[in-house]
Amino acid sequence: MAEEEHTAPSTPTIPSAPPSRSSPEAAVREPCPGCCESSRCNVLTWEQVQRLDRILSETIPIHGRGNFPTLEMQPRQIVNVVRSRLEEKSIGVRDVRLNGSAASHVLHQDSGLGYKDLDLIFCADLKGEAEFQTVKDVVLDCLLDFLPEGVNKEKITPLTLKEAYVQKMVKVCNDSDRWSLISLSNNSGKNVELKFVDSLRRQFEFSVDSFQIKLDSLLLFYECSENPMTETFHPTIIGESVYGDFQEAFDHLCNKIIATRNPEEIRGGGLLKYCNLLVRGFRAASESEIKSLQRYMCSRFFIDFSDIGEQQRKLESYLQNHFVGLEDRKYDYLMTLHGVVNESTVCLMGHERRQTLNLITMLAIRVLAEQNIIPNVANVTCYYQPAPYVTDANFSNYYIAQVQPVFPCQQHAYSTWLPCN
């Protein structure tokens, strides 16, 4: 996970002639009285509030493994249930926030980021192991509330619920970071991720994913108001950029600019996300600066994933989780990653670097095969460049491999490998 101390936000530059309120830039012109540092926060426009309302009110299926039924839940429902149960267990929740790509989508619908996972942050008091265990128990217990009618809940244990509906669980507890994550499975990639944070040094990788939207006022409106929201009657909702300067980060989002600070402090260096942004059309504001940052990204990535097996698992997991419905972009992504690693890796031995580049190439070929882009092997001509010491004048420069058909053995079938003698 990303880990970096926040630096002091810079002073925003506001033009004298603000644009129309219907434009994305209007979001950064609103005052934010008394909510937090004025440069870090902003009030959402009515258009943004409407997008937020649609996201929180959308019914999301949580798919069960095996024969377990699908759970249907609205994000606003699971937030209310989890929060109330935590408070019953004497775990205080300071506020609840929408984070990540969903928050960026609320602020600017055409950002190019898209969004899959729904990241919900509960700012909670987690002082010890008991509180972490309580959070886990509460979330699993809340899932029972969303089981369809007629399901016998008495024999369903927390372990059963975890195996059926939880994609992953993470707990981090050290001097600077105290948080846990429970991700609920969705087959289309739109996982509901519940993150419980006591402290977290760094909460973003790049400026465009640094936005958090405080949901408390909207949740209170849902609970208390008998009238629907209108442009003249809706709660004040605050957005914050943990990058530091809301306007600067928002401009980056609108203009597809890549910016970060100290990528060597991010787990994995932000390398995989950086290449994803490049494939989506984002570009660095400064080419010279980004070349330096790329070296830090690569160095931190290979510190955290030093073994080739770890690298393969990480890349395969990233492709699986971040390209659902975007399989046609996987090859471009891997080739972009290959280029960055080839150009900017300075911390590996030559054979280690070649090993990683070969891994990325292998994954790219696999992606092409999955998309049926690679032609049939019978039509492929393989070329072999001989070593420089081959001086025979009659030696052909290239060897053309003849594809031999594979004939099944008609005599015996063995269930195990036989030793070569």
| DSSP string for residues in 373-418 | -SPPGGGPPP--PPPTT---TTS-SS--PPPPPP---SS---SSPP
| Residue tagged 């939880």 (tokens) | 166
Determine the pLDDT at residue 173.
92
| Whole-model pTM over 0.75 | yes
Find how far residue 136's CA is from the centre of its chain: 22
**End of a domain among 208, 236, 260?**
260
Q: Is 390 a member of any domain?
A: no
Same domain? 132 vs 256: yes
Mean pLDDT, the chain, rounded, equals: 83
Cβ-contact 239, 95 below 8 angstroms = no
Q: How would residue 403 be classed by pLDDT, with cut points 50, 70 and 90?
A: very low
Q: What is the dihedral of CA 239, 54, 186, 134, to 10 degrees?
A: 50
**Better-scored residue on pLDDT, 148 or 12:** 148
Cα–Cα distances (Å) from 85 to 141, 145, 289, 381, in that order, read: 9, 12, 47, 64
114-137 pLDDT, tens digit each: 777 899 999 999 989 999 999 999
Single-letter residue type at 132: F
pLDDT at 385: 55
Q: Which domain holds residue 280?
A: 266-385
Encoding tokens for residue 118?
């729904």
With b for 16 or more beta-carbon neighbours within 10 A and e for fewer, the 356-382 pattern comes to bbebbeebbebbeeeeeeeeeeeeeee
The DSSP H or E segment spanning 257 is strand 257-258
Grade residue 37 by pLDDT with cuts at 50, 70 and 90.
low
Q: Are residues 249 and 274 in the same domain?
A: no
Split at pLDDT 50, 70, 90, the class of 387 is low
Shortest CA distance to 160 belongs to which of 151, 150, 172? 151
Residue 363 has pLDDT above 90, yes or no: yes
Angle between helices 75-88 and 216-224 (to 10 degrees): 90
pLDDT for res 36: 59
Is 248 in the same domain as 277?
A: no
Tokens in use for 327? Answer: 């399989």
- pLDDT category of residue 397 using cuts at 50, 70 and 90: very low
Confidence of residue 405 (pLDDT cuts 50, 70, 90): very low
- Each residue of 309-331: pLDDT tens digit? 999 999 999 998 888 888 899 99
Q: Are strands 118-124 and 192-199 parallel, antiparallel or unpaired?
A: parallel
- pLDDT (tens digit per residue) in 335-355: 999 999 999 998 888 889 999
- Measured distance CA(282)–CA(288) in Å, rounded: 16
Cα angle 6, 11, 17 (rounded to 5 degrees) comes to 140
Mean pLDDT over 92-110 rounds to 93
- Across the range 89-108, mean pLDDT stands at 95
Residue with the two structure tokens 């040094």: 201
Same structural domain for residues 48 and 174? yes
**Mean per-residue pLDDT for 49-56?**
97
In this prediction, residues 180-195 reach a mean pLDDT of: 92
pLDDT number for residue 329:
93
First to last CA, the chain: 51
Note whether residue 404 is domain-resident.
no
Say whether both 182 and 235 belong to one domain: yes
Q: Same domain, yes or no, for 159 and 253?
A: yes
Q: Is the pLDDT of residue 414 over 50?
A: no
How far is residue 237's CA from residue 41's CA, in Å, rounded to a whole number? 10
When divided into structural domains, the chain yields a total of: 2
Residue 90 lies in a domain: yes
Report the percentage of the chain scoring pLDDT > 70: 79
pLDDT tens-digit readout, 216-251? 999 999 999 989 999 999 999 999 999 989 999 999
* Average pLDDT rounded to a whole number, residues 153-172: 93
Q: What pLDDT, on a 0 to 100 scale, did the predictor assign at position 152?
A: 87
**Predicted confidence (pLDDT) at residue 14 exceeds the cutoff of 90:** no
Higher pLDDT: 403 or 36? It is: 36
Specify whether 104 is located in the same domain as 189: yes
Question: Would you say residue 362 lies in a domain?
Answer: yes
Pairing of strands 71-73, 60-62: antiparallel
Question: Of the ranges 60-64, 275-279, 286-290, which one carries the lowest mean pLDDT score?
Answer: 286-290
How far is Cα 76 from Cα 69, in angstroms, rounded to an integer?
A: 21
Closest CA to 183 of 60, 268, 310: 60
Q: Which of 200, 231, 260 is the last residue of a domain?
A: 260
Q: Tokens standing for 134?
A: 């309580």
Asked, for residue 9, whether it belongs to a domain, the answer is no
Q: For residues 276 and 272, what is the distance between their CA atoms, to the nearest angstrom? A: 6
Whether residue 192 lies inside any domain: the answer is yes
Residues 270 and 256 occupy one common structural domain: no
Last residue of a domain, one of 232, 260, 288: 260
pLDDT of residue 109: 86
Residue 418 has pLDDT above 60, yes or no: no
| pLDDT above 50 (res 305) | yes
Q: Are residues 90 and 205 in the same domain?
A: yes
Position 30 pLDDT exceeds 60: no
Q: Is 10 contained in some domain?
A: no
Q: Is residue 86 domain-shared with residue 171, that is, in the same domain?
A: yes
In a domain, residue 31? The reply is no
**Does residue 152 sit in the same domain as residue 275?**
no
Q: Is the pLDDT of residue 302 over 90?
A: yes
Do 194 and 75 lie in a common domain? yes
pLDDT at 254: 95
Amino acid sitting at position 110:
D
